[in-house]
Amino acid sequence: MKPCFDRIAVLGLGLLGGSVALASKQRGLAKCVAGGVRRPAALEAAVARGIVDEGGSFEDAVRGANLVVLATPVFAMVDLVRTIAPHLQEGALVTDVGSVKAGVAEALPGLLPRGVHYVGAHPMAGSHLSGLDHARGDLFDGAPCVVIEGAPEAARDRVSVFWTDLGARVLPRDAATHDGEVAWMSHIPHILAFAFAGALKAAPPGADEVAGSGFHDFTRIAHSHPELWGDILTSNRKAIAAPLQSVAESLAELGRAIETGDAEIVERWLAQARAALSLASPPPAGNDITRRVRTAHSRGLNASPGSAISAAEVGDPIDPNE
């Protein structure tokens, strides 16, 4: 694959940042993948593992970069962009991996120099494991990746192609819609897992000896990093409030059904709940945005941030179901 970028700078080399860098190198998406870190030891480890080619401070990493990926906690992104903004070249794109979008989508564009565009993104991939040691080049394969609307079309298209080339399925959303959807599909499940884990202090002694696969499946995400999830849940507290209330009401309703002692009532409730899982079924693979931009690239058409690609340039639309 011909490199899409001369230099990609990934700022923050934890699980997600390290995986973005590693996947970019393995798939040849840039001539150089640079890492931006606070601790030199982290950079040494990343270079030794072949995750990045070079790097240094955040400011050093972004110099000359066509694409900058913010992979720090959400609460740190505004200050980080203030730090790197004077060192960004004209025409650069800035994207991120943050789990909450409304705040950064509002704040970051105004901090960037002229000719630099922010295109928010959220790859729905990860693990309860954290840190560079667990970075994987295939982490994003088949995973949904939300790309936030609002930036110029050409900038969004290039960022969409980047995430698709990392293996993800790109889904366009505005920031508020994204935050509402991930509250249901990611944040509430984590809250429930943490809440159950917190309630285990009331379990009888020796109960852990009978824990089976169901227990381990349900509690796996409660092993996630508390600092990271404290940041995510408080940042998205407004979008979380209504779903959390709905889940509390649903749990109470199920409790009342169980208290009746009538197995048929409970069975009907459980069957309806299971049927509702179809709402979370993944959409068909592929998406029109990234396909038409990749088609343009393959035909040698201009896909720079300053030039939008029209339908006429890329030819007939591709059936999204093929």
CA distance 259 to 246: 20
Q: Which helix (H) or strand (E) holds 139?
A: none
Structure confidence at residue 280 as a pLDDT band (50, 70, 90): low
Q: How confident is the model at residue 307, as a pLDDT? A: 32
Q: How confident is the model at residue 82, as a pLDDT? A: 98
For residue 156, count CB atoms less than 10 angstroms from its CB and return exposed for 0-12, middle for 13-18, buried for 19 or more. Answer: buried
Q: Averaged over 316-320, what is the pLDDT?
A: 23
Q: Averaged over 230-249, what is the pLDDT?
A: 96
Closest CA to 51 of 60, 59, 42: 42
Bigger pLDDT: 296 vs 41: 41
Lowest mean pLDDT among 35-49, 127-141, 244-258: 127-141
Q: State what percent of residues in the chain have pLDDT above 70.
A: 85
Could you tell me where the DSSP H helices lie in 200-262?
213-219, 226-235, 237-259
Q: How confident is the model at residue 96, as a pLDDT? A: 98
Q: Averaged over 79-99, what is the pLDDT?
A: 97
Place of tokens 């105004």: 110
Q: How confident is the model at residue 321, as a pLDDT? A: 19
> What φ, ψ does residue 171 adopt, rounded to 5°?
-125, 120
Q: CA separation (Å) from 127 to 104, 134, 240?
A: 23, 9, 21
Q: Averaged over 73-93, what is the pLDDT?
A: 97
Lowest mean pLDDT among 182-191, 225-234, 304-313: 304-313
Would you say 111 and 85 are in contact if contact means Cβ atoms under 8 Å apart?
A: yes
Structure confidence at residue 247 as a pLDDT band (50, 70, 90): very high
Q: How confident is the model at residue 202, as a pLDDT? A: 97
Query: What's the pTM value of the predicted model, to 2 decimals?
Result: 0.82
Q: State what percent of residues in the chain have pLDDT above 90.
A: 78
| pLDDT above 80: residue 199 | yes
Domain architecture of the chain: domains with CATH: 5-174 (3.40.50.720), 177-280 (1.10.3660.10)
> What φ, ψ does residue 4 adopt, rounded to 5°?
-80, -20
